[in-house]
Structure 1
Amino acid sequence: MSADLDRTPRSLLVRERSSFLDQRNRLSSQVEQLHFNYKVSVLLPECSSAPSHLDTVLNSFSSFYLIRKLPVYELLDKDFLETAVYHGSVYGLSYRTRIDEDNCVALLPNGHLSLSLDKDSFQLLGFEGKPSRFNQRTSSRYVVSVDLTDSCMAPGGRSYHRLLTGLKSRLHLEADFLLTHHPGGGASLQALLSRYDWSEHRPEVSRRTLTDLSCPALLTSDLQSCDPHSFLEWLGALDAHVSCENDSSSFLSSLTCSEPKMTLSRALSVSVCGLLLPHDVHRLLQQIRCYLERLQPVSWASLTVHGFVDSPVSWGGSEHGFLRGGENFYTLLMFDDHTYQLHLATGAYDGCPP
């Protein structure tokens, strides 16, 4: 067995406690900083079906586009820059490219273009960059980050021409690409879409009703009765359809619900998958708050947002890496007294979350 497998991989978990009523809370900005979300999971205890106002939000997440074999130089197209990028809120991500092996691309809503390239591709591109902070021994991967809204990157300028020439004449980088625009900016993408094979997609919503569910006892919003790692492990197992009803001596799994625990007579588990905008996550969050206010005696609910494991960036514009899992996610526990606990987690190849 490899020595690496004997060691528990490093991970980071930041926990923050605050209140929605506290004007100093940073929740909105933290939600906005995870740009590329592929899955949102919600758990509603003592609930068998989502109320209509919550169901409406779940079914109204913004659509997104899949463009096949998009040359990356198209993201520098003058019309695309003027109609979409300069107005902000364009989200683009190379699809099914692996951050530890392939060239990966992300277009952030603030107009930054991030390229994670192998050494040969970086040298062919011939544009300024820096070694990846996650290189193991040698500089085998490089990161190129360009602010397309900066005056020096204006079409016709020297830097713009240099990057365009590198992508168009030397590197020939292309990939299947996920692309969306908020708010309702699909029209600004049509000129680009019309030149390539593309399809529009709606986020997929799935629901499960659970009965007689063993659950960590979240007795109060201070969570003194529940270890956060144990709770997140239980929540992750639930989302992955892994049972925690095991004996400690079980050969297949020793995963059990932590003590103290309670039994929920029923619970609703809902997930939404796709290229999900932070704006839609925020709308869902607000509706869950309304749900907690209206329906007593329900005292808590959880929302977990997973970032794409192979995105070149994770929190904000910081570089994202991949060791074993590529984790970058956050879990929000909301309580009926307007308090919340936010858990931000990353794997070994990421910086500390905000």
Structure 2
Amino acid sequence: MAAYFKPPKSHLVFESFHGTDKLSAYISEHTFNHAVNIFLPGQARIPRELLEVSPGKDCFYVAELPVSTFIQPHFIHSTLKQGSFFALSHTHHIDTDDCVAVFPQGLLVLSVTKDTYEQLGIVGRSSEFQQGAKFIVEIDLLADSFQPGRKQYERVQWCLTDRLSLTMPFLMAFIPRGSSATSSIPVLQDMPHKELTNKETLNTLTNIQIPSLSYMSPQISLDHSSNEYCSAIDLFEWLGAISCNIDCDSGQPDGFVSAYSCPMPNRVVPLSCNIGWRGVITPQRILQLINILSKCEDALISWCVISVWGFADCPFSWGQQEHGYYMAGENHYTCVLFPQSNQWFFTALGTHDKVR
């Protein structure tokens, strides 16, 4: 007898808006990003201004640390209060393991299993998506009450050092106040650690088909009766193929690798650029990239795209919205930039995520 399973829910949210305020807010709230890809249709080369703010110039660090490191006064004063600090547990799985993150606003978040929660002794809340199995603990490291000698601080310190010492590998990055580039992390100077840089890849695409778009005609419904412009949904799917380096021009119904082809209507352009970075990429750097892209008006095609992938095992995705992995851990976004500060914005979320 055949068994039928209900497919897991996923969310793809589409928005279109004018101006930069809303876009900047969305990007700033998505703290932990491991990959960025920029597609420049009709451009023969990457603009020099874009390369000047390349995430490939940024470094990040890997070190195994006790979680109690992040509550020490030396760390709070030398690092957390001196810029934007990012830390995310590495190689730990959000659905089954203990995961920890430190957000730039000074928020320490622990997503822990039931056993760890009971041993830890710090009050938190049950996970929205794994009730009774995972628990969320939030500690404001910059709160006035969180200082040595105060009741809350002493309780947390005792729980993280004497009651249960949590130690795990972390990915970390630090941007000093007044800068947009990452820098060394003072707290790591006397600790074993590894310094890494974001990896950059660049592809030049020749004679590929590019969908015809209009900001005013996203055509987000499934009704394709109007073929004047490509729909936003078809574009999103096509961009996924471009990011995976799939040849969309030779798609055949019996194609061995891919039968996918560029959506209609489209046009052939001689050259296009696809540049990407992998590592730990800060929201500040992404905002710089978008600012440069919004000023690129000399291209053959009047739009360009930036896609960003969030870490699958981060406790929160946007702002303080809880995040889980479940099937794939999606928490990504794609922004299509049109002239005159017009944008299409796609948000892709998995089953264990809340729609903003």
Match of 1:157 in 2: 150
Deviations 1:245-280 (A, max 9, x none): 422354654433322233232211000111111111
Deviations 1:175-229 (A, max 9, x none): 1111112235977832x21332112222111100112223322145533433333
Whole-Å Cα distance in 1 between the matches of residues 282 and 343 of structure 2? 22
The answer to whether the aligner puts 1:242 opposite 2:238 as a matched pair is no
Match of 1:143 in 2: 136
Whole-Å Cα distance in 2 between the matches of residues 130 and 65 of structure 1? 30
Q: Is the 8 A contact 2:173 2:183 kept in 1?
A: no
Which 5+ residue runs of structure 1 have no aligned equivalent?
Answer: none
SS at match of 1:89: strand
Q: How many residues align?
A: 342
Whole-Å Cα distance in 1 between the matches of residues 95 and 15 of structure 2? 31
Pairs within 5 Å for 1:215-230: 215-224=210-219, 225-230=229-234
Q: Is the 8 A contact 1:221 1:340 kept in 2?
A: no
The answer to whether the aligner puts 1:105 opposite 2:105 as a matched pair is no
Q: Is the 8 A contact 1:216 1:262 kept in 2?
A: yes
Residue 174 (structure 1) shift: 1.1
Whole-Å Cα distance in 1 between the matches of residues 208 and 79 of structure 2? 47
Change (3 A) 1:50 1:226: same
Out of 279, 284, 288, which is 1:279 matched to?
Answer: 284
The answer to whether the aligner puts 1:170 opposite 2:166 as a matched pair is no
The answer to whether the aligner puts 1:10 opposite 2:9 as a matched pair is yes
Q: Is the 8 A contact 2:42 2:299 kept in 1?
A: no
Q: Is the 8 A contact 2:24 2:287 kept in 1?
A: yes
Match of 2:45 in 1: 49
Q: Is the 8 A contact 2:125 2:137 kept in 1?
A: yes
Whole-Å Cα distance in 1 between the matches of residues 215 and 143 of structure 2? 48
Which 5+ residue runs of structure 2 have no aligned equivalent?
Answer: 220-228
Pairs within 5 Å for 1:254-333: 254-291=259-296, 293=297, 295-333=298-336
Change (3 A) 1:48 1:204: same
Match of 1:127 in 2: 122
Residue 82 (structure 1) shift: 1.6
Match of 1:58 in 2: 54
TM-score (normalizing by structure 2)? 0.89
Whole-Å Cα distance in 1 between the matches of residues 151 and 215 of structure 2? 59
Match of 1:338 in 2: 341
Match of 1:207 in 2: 202
Residue 336 (structure 1) shift: 2.6
Q: Is the 8 A contact 1:61 1:280 kept in 2?
A: no
Q: Which has the higher helix share?
A: 1
Q: Is the 8 A contact 1:213 1:265 kept in 2?
A: yes
Whole-Å Cα distance in 2 between the matches of residues 188 and 57 of structure 1? 18
TM-score (normalizing by structure 1)? 0.89
Deviations 1:85-128 (A, max 9, x none): 23452111111211112111110011111111011111111100
Match of 1:28 in 2: 24
SS at match of 1:79: helix
Whole-Å Cα distance in 1 between the matches of residues 184 and 279 of structure 2? 21
Change (3 A) 1:254 1:66: same
Change (3 A) 1:188 1:335: closer
Residue 59 (structure 1) shift: 5.4
SS at match of 2:122: coil
SS at match of 2:295: helix
